[in-house]
Amino acid sequence: MTRMLIIGPPGSGKGTQAERISERLGVVAISTGDIFRANVKGETPLGVEAKKYMDAGDFVPDSVTNKMVRDRLGEDDVDGGFLLDGYPRTTAQVDYLDGILATGEQKLDVVLQLTADDEELVTRLLGRAKETGRSDDNEAVIRHRLDLYHGQTEAVVAKYAERGILTQVDGIGGIDEVTDRVMQAIKAAQSA
């Protein structure tokens, strides 16, 4: 059984790699973005609350996000393991996730961090914005998102590094090349 987390800056290929890891390891990939969308679409009480913040362009508060993640991790399809993408983003969320897992006498096996140079990511995201026609992805917005990522996740990454479960993988290169590095890193982490 594998319980893991994938962390990486915007444009690092987290979503793509999460799908590939999920397929190869036979674990469910859980994206907080997907959880938000499902709750909003289903008009659940948490979804209605989250939508207020999302519509205003604000972050959904931890209290709402935590409850959504707790509900999702309580579903049957995670019994064989899971890959969390986009959560936890803060040390308070790390503590909350620890509590969720502890109730089932579980813990994370590995935290995979995709790393990439900011300038490479800006170039990659600007190219993607051009391809998809996303006008909201200009250089200033992209750099702001990268600054937020670095500011939010450094403490999270440090916490998992202290526990000895953090594995860093270079996220730059071809998709297959990165997937090969990711799978080798997971295998090495699990046998350590």
Active-site choice (3, 20, 89, 124) = 89
Sheet holding 28-31, edge to edge: 28-31, 81-85, 2-7, 110-115, 166-170
Could you tell me if 164 and 24 are in contact, meaning their C-beta atoms sit under 8 angstroms apart?
Answer: no
41 is in an annotated binding site: no
60 is in an annotated binding site: yes
Q: From residue 81, how far is each of 21, 87, 106, 181 by CA, in Å?
A: 12, 16, 10, 21
Q: From residue 100, how far is each of 95, 104, 118 by CA, in Å?
A: 9, 7, 33
Active-site choice (128, 143, 159, 181) = 128
| pTM exceeds 0.75 | yes
Longest dimension (CA), the chain: 46
Helices (H), 26-133: 32-41, 45-55, 62-73, 91-103, 118-132
Active-site choice (14, 20, 72, 124) = 14
13 is in an annotated binding site: yes
Q: What whole-number distance in Å separates Cα of residue 62 and Cα of residue 116?
A: 27
DSSP code of 90? Answer: S
Angle between helices 14-25 and 175-191 (to 10 degrees): 60
187 is in an annotated binding site: no
Instruction: Give yes or no: 128 in active site.
Output: yes
- Coil, helix or strand for 22? helix
Instruction: Give yes or no: 134 in active site.
Output: yes
Active-site choice (24, 134, 163, 187) = 134
Domain 2-28+82-191 has CATH 3.40.50.300: yes
Q: What whole-number distance in Å separates Cα of residue 123 and Cα of residue 130?
A: 11
Query: How confident is the model at residue 1, as a pLDDT?
Result: 64
Q: pLDDT 10s per residue in the chain (192 long)?
A: 689 999 999 889 998 999 999 999 999 999 988 888 889 899 999 899 988 887 776 778 889 999 999 999 999 999 889 999 989 988 999 999 999 999 988 999 999 999 999 999 999 989 888 888 766 678 888 888 888 888 888 899 999 999 999 999 999 999 999 999 999 999 998 887
Structure tokens at 78: 């995670």
Q: Which is it for strands 81-85 and 2-7: parallel, antiparallel or unpaired? A: parallel
The ranges assigned to domains in the chain are 2-28+82-191
Residue 13: how many CB atoms within 10 A of its CB?
Answer: 22
59 is in an annotated binding site: yes
Could you tell me if 36 and 60 are in contact, meaning their C-beta atoms sit under 8 angstroms apart?
Answer: yes
Query: How confident is the model at residue 128, as a pLDDT?
Result: 86
